[in-house]
C-alpha cells in the first residue's frame, strides 16, 4: 500500500487530491490547520470539507498541523513513509499578503522549505509536487501587445504568446506582489531540491484553479466567489481593466489528474505552466454573462477604475510543455461545465436548509 501526504487537505486542490488518491488505493495523510479562516473569516473555513473527507475516505487521516512548525512536520515524516507529497497549503491571496507580509512569507516560502527538507531527509525517493502560481511571472504578462476587444483583452494575432504563456517568460524585473514573491521563493526552492539534491520535484504554475469544493471569498477564488455573489445577490466589485481581464480556469479534477501523470513518470525539478489554456478561459465580463444565463439572476456590479497592483490583464497558460511530457493527459472540464459544477455546489446547502 502506498502513502500520500497532502498539505492543505481541506482546500480546493488538497481535498480533490485526497479523494483522487484515496480512490487509487493510497493511504492518505492530510495536513490542514484551517488557516483559511484566519485569512478570510468563517466563509473561508475548511472545517466542513475536512469533516466530509474523514467521513467519506476510510484510509484518510487528518493532522491539525502548521507547515511552519518544523518539529511537528518532522514528527509526521518520522511516523510514515511517504511515496508522494502534494503541497497545496498556502496563503493564497494576492491582496491579503500585503497586510501581513511576514505571515505570508513564512507560510508560502518557509513552510515549503521545511517540507522539502523533511522529504530529503526521510523519504528522498518520494515524488514531491508543489502548487505554484502564475504570479511568479509578476506583471510581465502585461507587457505583451494587448488589444481591447468587445468583452476581453487579447494578445495580438501572430505573437508567440497568442496561444498562451509558456515557461520561458521571465520572472525578473517586474512587480510581483508580496504573494507572488513568496510563491516564487518557494517555486525556486522546489526546483533547487530537484536539480541540486535530485528529488523528484514537480512545480505546477497554475492559472485560476477552481471547482465545486472552492470556498470562494472576495480576496481569493475568482469563479467561486463570482458565482456566490450572483446567487446571493451580493454586490461584486470589479477592479480595473473594464472587467475585460482574462484568466484561464482549470477544474481541480483536471489539475489533480495532471499531478497523477507526473507521479507516474516524474522528473527532477521540472516546471510546468498549467491551467485551462485556450480550452477554458474567460474575461470577468464573459464569466458574469455565463453565470447570469445559468442562474437566471442578474449580477450587481460596482466598478472601480483602479486595478489591483500587479494584477494580470491577460493570462492564458501554454500547456505545450506538460502535454509533450505527458501526452495522455487532457483537459476534460469546459468553462461552462466547471461553472455549472460551482453553481450546483453553491446551491446545495440552500436546498438542504429548506429540506429539498
Q: pLDDT digit string (tens) for 165-214?
A: 999 999 999 999 999 999 999 999 999 999 999 999 999 999 999 999 99
Q: Are 222 and 210 in contact (CB under 8 A)?
A: yes
Residue 56, Cβ density class (10 Å: 0-12 exposed, 13-18 middle, ≥19 buried): exposed
Q: Are strands 235-239 and 270-274 parallel, antiparallel or unpaired?
A: unpaired
The residue assigned the cell 521540472 is: 270
Determine the distance from the C-alpha atom of residue 155 to the mean position of all C-alpha atoms in its chain, rounded to a whole number: 24
Determine the distance from the C-alpha atom of residue 303 to the mean position of all C-alpha atoms in its chain, rounded to a whole number: 26
More confident residue, 308 or 103: 103
| 3-state SS class at 4 | strand
Decide if pLDDT at 353 tops 70: no
DSSP assignments along 4-35, one per residue? EEEETTTSHHHHHHHHHHHHTTEEEEEE---H
pLDDT digits (tens, 9 = 90+) for 314-326: 999 999 999 999 9
Question: Cα separation of 141 and 169, whole Å?
Answer: 8
Question: Cα separation of 89 and 107, whole Å?
Answer: 8
pTM over 0.75: yes
pLDDT digits (tens, 9 = 90+) for 217-269: 888 888 999 999 999 999 999 999 999 999 999 999 999 999 999 999 999 99
Over residues 40-44, the mean pLDDT reads: 94
Determine the distance from the C-alpha atom of residue 128 to the mean position of all C-alpha atoms in its chain, rounded to a whole number: 16
Domain boundaries, the chain: 2-353
Other beta carbons within 10 angstroms of residue 183's beta carbon come to 30
For residues 145-155, one letter each, b for 16 or more C-beta atoms within 10 angstroms of the residue's C-beta and e for the rest, the string is: ebeeeebbbbb
Kind plus residue range of the DSSP H or E element containing 78: helix 70-79
Other beta carbons within 10 angstroms of residue 133's beta carbon come to 23
| pLDDT in the model for residue 349 | 56
Over residues 283-302, the mean pLDDT reads: 95
Over residues 26-46, the mean pLDDT reads: 96
2-353 is a CATH 3.30.70.2610 domain: no
Residue 196, Cβ density class (10 Å: 0-12 exposed, 13-18 middle, ≥19 buried): exposed
Residue 121, Cβ density class (10 Å: 0-12 exposed, 13-18 middle, ≥19 buried): exposed
Amino acid at each position: 500500500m502506498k502513502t500520500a501526504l497532502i498539505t492543505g487537505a481541506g482546500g480546493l486542490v488538497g481535498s480533490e487530491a485526497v479523494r483522487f488518491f484515496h480512490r487509487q488505493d493510497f493511504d492518505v495523510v492530510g495536513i490542514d490547520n484551517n488557516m483559511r479562516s484566519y485569512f478570510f473569516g468563517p466563509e473561508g473555513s475548511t472545517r466542513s470539507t475536512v469533516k466530509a473527507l474523514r467521513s467519506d475516505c476510510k484510509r484518510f487521516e487528518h493532522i491539525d498541523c502548521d507547515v511552519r512548525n518544523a518539529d511537528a512536520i518532522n514528527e509526521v515524516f518520522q511516523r510514515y513513509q511517504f511515496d508522494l507529497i502534494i503541497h497545496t497549503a498556502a496563503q493564497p491571496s494576492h491582496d491579503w499578503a500585503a497586510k501581513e507580509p511576514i505571515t505570508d512569507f513564512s507560510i508560502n516560502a518557509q513552510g515549503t522549505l521545511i517540507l522539502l527538507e523533511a522529504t530529503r531527509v526521510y523519504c528522498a525517493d518520494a515524488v514531491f509536487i508543489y502548487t505554484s502560481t502564475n504570479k511568479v511571472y509578476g506583471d510581465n504578462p502585461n507587457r505583451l501587445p494587448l488589444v481591447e476587444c468587445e468583452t476581453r483583452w487579447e494578445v495580438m494575432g501572430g505573437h508567440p504568446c497568442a496561444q498562451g504563456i509558456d515557461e520561458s517568460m521571465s520572472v525578473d524585473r517586474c512587480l510581483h506582489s508580496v504573494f507572488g514573491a513568496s510563491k516564487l521563493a518557494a517555486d525556486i526552492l522546489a526546483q533547487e531540491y530537484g536539480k541540486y539534491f535530485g528529488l523528484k520535484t514537480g512545480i505546477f504554475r497554475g492559472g485560476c484553479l477552481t471547482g465545486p469544493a472552492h470556498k470562494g471569498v472576495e480576496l481569493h477564488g475568482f469563479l467561486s466567489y463570482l458565482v456566490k455573489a450572483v446567487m446571493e445577490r451580493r454586490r461584486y466589485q470589479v477592479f480595473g481593466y473594464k472587467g475585460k481581464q482574462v484568466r484561464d480556469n482549470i477544474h481541480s479534477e483536471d489539475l489533480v489528474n495532471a499531478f497523477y501523470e507526473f507521479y507516474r513518470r516524474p522528473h527532477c525539478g521540472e516546471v510546468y505552466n498549467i491551467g485551462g489554456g485556450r480550452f477554458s478561459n474567460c474575461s470577468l465580463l464573459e464569466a458574469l454573462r455565463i453565470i447570469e444565463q445559468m442562474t437566471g439572476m442578474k449580477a450587481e456590479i460596482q466598478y472601480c477604475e483602479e486595478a489591483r497592483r500587479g494584477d494580470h490583464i491577460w493570462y492564458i497558460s501554454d500547456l505545450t510543455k506538460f502535454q509533450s511530457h505527458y501526452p495522455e493527459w487532457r483537459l476534460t472540464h469546459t468553462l461552462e461545465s466547471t461553472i455549472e459544477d460551482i453553481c450546483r455546489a453553491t446551491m446545495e446547502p440552500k436546498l438542504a436548509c429548506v429540506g429539498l
